[in-house]
């Protein structure tokens, strides 16, 4: 028997696709190597989301996120994750001009990060780009419903599918993404019945965020899930309260420093 440690097999796009209607897919965002390492065992998919612009860099929206930012954080997550399937968001402006632009940027992301797939927000013409990429060996995750990169057009982060015309549009974008070859589709910020209708209409697994338990999986921004902000959207369930934990730890540290209780002898080096 080999003495070498057995290599952990990373999940693949076909394995994710085959999970349609099976045990729900567990997905979270990740932006750093330490967080990816912690989340890896629990998650099927780690998404290096362009939400990094807001969560980590303090931007007002995802519009200002660059290719360089996505590649940097994608590299970090790939260093930390060993099992989970890693997807990197293509930032605003990196794919909308057409399939050729999208292909060049997607190739760069995959080559420079080692990630396995990219995610595109599935606007009215993006299914053509999804097809172009998948036919050339690039796994693509779609994204319908509330699309953060369309915040300027929509006038804010607004739930989708509240009118029949809007429902029909979101459903068609999901069908088009599916037909173009997306291996999974994120469904964000839509009513539960529309999420169920989309899930039933497409062959690819749907991954919900603010889209009910009707989807084939769920994703949250990890910092929201861990309670690191003083506000979170309606669809978030907080599984920890790290904002308070970190604040309390910082206050305790500050108190010990000011009183000279830290560092104590056990945390100090002495001459031999």
What does the pLDDT read at residue 2?
Answer: 46
How far apart, in whole angstroms, are the C-alpha atoms of residue 34 and residue 96?
Answer: 32
Q: Which residues contact 111 (CB under 8 A, 6 or more apart)?
A: none
What does the pLDDT read at residue 6?
Answer: 56
Q: What is the pLDDT along the chain (272 residues), one digit of tens a residue?
A: 444 455 779 999 999 999 999 999 999 999 999 999 999 999 999 999 999 999 999 999 999 999 999 999 999 999 999 999 999 999 999 999 999 999 999 999 999 999 999 999 988 889 999 999 999 999 999 999 988 665 555 555 556 667 888 899 999 999 999 999 999 999 999 989 999 999 999 999 999 999 999 999 999 999 999 999 999 889 999 999 999 999 999 999 999 999 999 999 999 999 98
Residue 195 pairs in a beta bridge with none
How far apart, in whole angstroms, are the C-alpha atoms of residue 221 and residue 229?
Answer: 11
What does the pLDDT read at residue 7?
Answer: 74
Helices (H) and strands (E) in the chain, counts: 11, 8
pTM of the model: 0.93
* 89 annotated as ligand-binding: yes
How far apart, in whole angstroms, are the C-alpha atoms of residue 129 and residue 120?
Answer: 9
What does the pLDDT read at residue 166?
Answer: 87
* 121 annotated as ligand-binding: yes
What would be the CATH architecture of the domain defined by 13-241? Alpha-Beta Barrel (3.20)
Strands (E), the chain: 25-29, 45-48, 85-89, 117-119, 140-145, 184-188, 206-209, 217-220
* 51 annotated as ligand-binding: yes
What interhelical angle do 192-201 and 164-180 show, nearest 10? 30
Give domain limits for the chain. Answer: 13-241
How far apart, in whole angstroms, are the C-alpha atoms of residue 27 and residue 12?
Answer: 14
Spatial CA neighbour of 116 closest among 90, 91, 139, 89: 139
Strands (E), 15-97: 25-29, 45-48, 85-89
* 244 annotated as ligand-binding: no
* Catalytic positions, written as ranges: 188
What does the pLDDT read at residue 158?
Answer: 59
């Amino acid at each position: 028997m080999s003495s070498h440690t057995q290599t952990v097999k990373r999940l693949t796009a076909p394995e994710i696709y085959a999970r349609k209607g099976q045990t729900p897919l567990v997905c979270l965002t990740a932006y750093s190597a330490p967080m990816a390492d912690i989340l890896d065992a629990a998650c099927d998919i780690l998404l290096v989301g362009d939400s990094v612009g807001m969560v980590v860099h303090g931007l007002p929206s995802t519009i200002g996120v660059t290719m360089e930012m996505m590649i940097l954080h994608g590299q970090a997550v790939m260093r930390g994750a060993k099992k989970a399937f890693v997807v990197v968001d293509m930032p605003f402006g990196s794919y909308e001009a057409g399939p050729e632009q999208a292909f060049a940027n997607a190739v760069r992301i995959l080559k420079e990060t080692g990630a396995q797939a990219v995610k595109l927000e599935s606007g009215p013409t993006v299914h053509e780009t999804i097809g172009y990429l998948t036919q050339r060996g690039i796994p693509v995750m779609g994204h319908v419903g509330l699309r953060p990169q369309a915040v300027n057009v929509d006038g804010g982060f607004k739930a989708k599918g509240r009118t029949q015309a809007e429902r029909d549009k979101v459903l068609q974008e999901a069908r088009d993404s599916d037909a173009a070859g997306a291996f999974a589709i994120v469904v964000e910020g839509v009513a539960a019945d529309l999420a169920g209708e989309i899930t039933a209409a497409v062959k690819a697994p749907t991954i919900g965020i603010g889209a009910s338990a009707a989807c084939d999986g769920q994703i949250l921004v990890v910092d929201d899930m861990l309670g690191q902000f003083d506000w979170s959207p309606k669809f978030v369930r907080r599984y920890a309260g790290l904002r308070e934990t970190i604040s309390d730890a910082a206050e305790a540290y500050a108190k010990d420093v000011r009183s000279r209780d830290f560092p104590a002898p056990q945390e100090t080096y002495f001459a031999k």
